[in-house]
Structure 1
Amino acid sequence: MKQTPTDFRAMKGVEPITMLTAYTCPVARGIEQAGVPVILVGDTVGMVEMGFDSTRDVTIEHMEYHIGAVRRGAKDTHIIGDLPYLTDKDPATALIHARRLIAAGADSIKLEGPKLDVIAHLVAHDIAVVGHTGLTPQTATSFKKVGSTSEDAQRIAEEARDIQDAGAFMVVIEHVPYDLSTRITAELRIPTIGIGAGPDCDGQVLVINDALGLGDYWPPFSKQYAHVSDTILQVAKDFRGEVASREFPNNIIRFTGTGNR
């Protein structure tokens, strides 16, 4: 059964929340079958799937396409859709784009930074919001850890509280010192979801391509549960060799009946 913002708030301090990103229908289907309660269709798709150098190149149309694909694969999973760069520049603009993501299949939306007027405006119009503080890729100049100085740590902690008070039901904390995320998690009433933020958050999110080992670079705070890029390389080599030798398609087992594609 699809979980709601109320369900996730009730999990704080009780049960860790598992979150994975997804961008395609078959991957989303597998994530749902595994029982993962929430999928983030993040603008990371621009870098890990589309080959962009930055998430800033992702458009609202890109997000609608991928959210639709993920919804078709995970009909009973809570889906969070990312608002792309500049689509949340003011409350009215954000509402237009958030409604597009909801129409595409998202249950809630995520936006980066302390855009408190935007969050409050969306919540007032019945759109559930997930906040995001710490490293915010849409505006970051590098992907180095943030919050290492006392001043920066205080800024991030205050942002998290303000995001909560503006009406967000959950907040992602990215790439900060572990003691900072522990402090924020203890102070907030809403769940915190860590990515490179240590074990004491209320949940963890991982980019699915990082988990699969799909690509040629993964952040140091990620974990590879498989190495799918190696599998793709080997399959392509095997197929190329069999075509060259004319072994394929002569080695396909022939079936009869209606099951063939």
Structure 2
Amino acid sequence: MSTHHESAPPLPEPDTPSQASRTRATTVPLIRQRKREGRTETPIVMLTAYTARQAELLDPHCDMLLVGDSLAQVIYGLPSTIPVTLEMMAAHGAAVVRGARHALVVVDMPFGSYEGAPQQAFASAASLLKQTGAGAVKLEGGAAMADTVAFLVARGIPVMGHVGLTPQAVNVLGGYGARGKSDAEAEKILADATALEAAGAFSVVCEGVVEPIAVTLTDRLAIPVIGIGASNHCDGQVLVTDDMLGMFDRVPRFVERFANLAEEVGTAARTYAAAVRNRSFPSAGHVYRTTA
């Protein structure tokens, strides 16, 4: 079977409520328009993707695909997202864009590529979009990043924000625990998201916050709020795909395992190994023979 994108068979119709999104790729304005009054009527579906084939499989069912810096742990076995580079994000982002036909592809900006100054952020984001063909970037941080978000948006770069638990700040936060438990922390999260909206972010991820804050945030903002470890009141949901597929033994409490692929992969590998060792594979049907 050919692996060239051009020769791949047509993918099934995307599972989306909007007829417009069935006839053209999902865009930033379409995502933003999904929230008109109050929370989004039909939740926005978002999953992470890191490879072209993964994108092909997820794309028909998702409104957005996030090339997350979670690839640090999922792909590279790193302890956190801190070591991720622009080069890593560009390589995986380009692969995902090649596999996606319907979903809006959003690429995470890695730690250290945007915090220094708006000009640094623009150079990094422009490079990512040029190299990948993605539709938007995502960056972590709240009010402190508002000027940077405004700078990017004014120069044609769509930005998704990220508040609450921000993994790139794990060294400052001291861990991955839920945020918003104190009044002061809750107010900061709300202020951060409001500042990002005012700066021009088209959407914001709300991660690892206590549910009342996620509900308030969703009702307060006019842009979609995408929850992860937040509330089903949010305008949409995102999960790390490998967590959702059961590829890891340990996952956060907010993850639902919709499959157990780790067990299936182990079973397949064990069956293959047995077939090789008892010489039942390859069989006669798997080998090439000279013609008579």
TM-score band, normalised by shorter chain: over 0.9
Deviation at 1:161, TM superposition (A): 0.2
Count residues with an aligned counterpart: 255
The unaligned stretches of length 5 or more in structure 2 are 1-23
2:184 corresponds in structure 1 to 151
The unaligned stretches of length 5 or more in structure 1 are 257-261
2:158 corresponds in structure 1 to 128
Deviation at 1:136, TM superposition (A): 0.1
Cα distance in 2 between the residues matched to 1:15 and 1:75: 21
Deviation at 1:106, TM superposition (A): 1.2
1:80 corresponds in structure 2 to 106
Which digits, 9 at most, give the CA deviation of each residue in 1:177-216, with x for residues without a partner?
Answer: 1110000111111110000001111100011101111122
Which digits, 9 at most, give the CA deviation of each residue in 1:132-158, with x for residues without a partner?
Answer: 000000012201001111110000000
Q: Give the ranges of 4+ consecutive aligned residues of structure 1 lying more than 4 Å apart after TM superposition.
A: 251-256
Whether contact under 8 Å (2:206, 2:214) holds in the other structure is yes
For residue 51 of structure 1, the aligned residue among 42, 55, 77 is 77
**Residue 14, structure 1, aligned to residue 41, structure 2:** yes
Amino acid at match of 1:105: G
Deviation at 1:253, TM superposition (A): 5.7
Report the 3-state secondary structure (helix = DSSP H, G, I; strand = E; otherwise coil) of the residue aligned with 2:45. Answer: strand
Deviation at 1:254, TM superposition (A): 6.9
Amino acid at match of 2:164: G
For residue 63 of structure 2, the aligned residue among 28, 32, 37 is 37
Whether contact under 8 Å (1:60, 1:84) holds in the other structure is yes
- Structure 1 residues 26, 125: closer, same or farther in 2, change over 3 A? same
For residue 164 of structure 1, the aligned residue among 194, 197, 202 is 197
Identity of aligned pairs, percent? 38
Whether contact under 8 Å (2:60, 2:102) holds in the other structure is no
Deviation at 1:14, TM superposition (A): 2.8
- Structure 1 residues 251, 232: closer, same or farther in 2, change over 3 A? farther
The farther-off stretch of 209-218 and 187-196 is 209-218
Cα distance in 2 between the residues matched to 1:227 and 1:251: 33
**Residue 219, structure 1, aligned to residue 252, structure 2:** yes
1:93 corresponds in structure 2 to 120
Cα distance in 2 between the residues matched to 1:229 and 1:251: 30
Deviation at 1:6, TM superposition (A): 1.6
CA RMSD of aligned residues (A): 1.5
For residue 134 of structure 2, the aligned residue among 101, 106, 112 is 106
Report the 3-state secondary structure (helix = DSSP H, G, I; strand = E; otherwise coil) of the residue aligned with 2:187. Answer: helix
Whether contact under 8 Å (2:60, 2:103) holds in the other structure is no
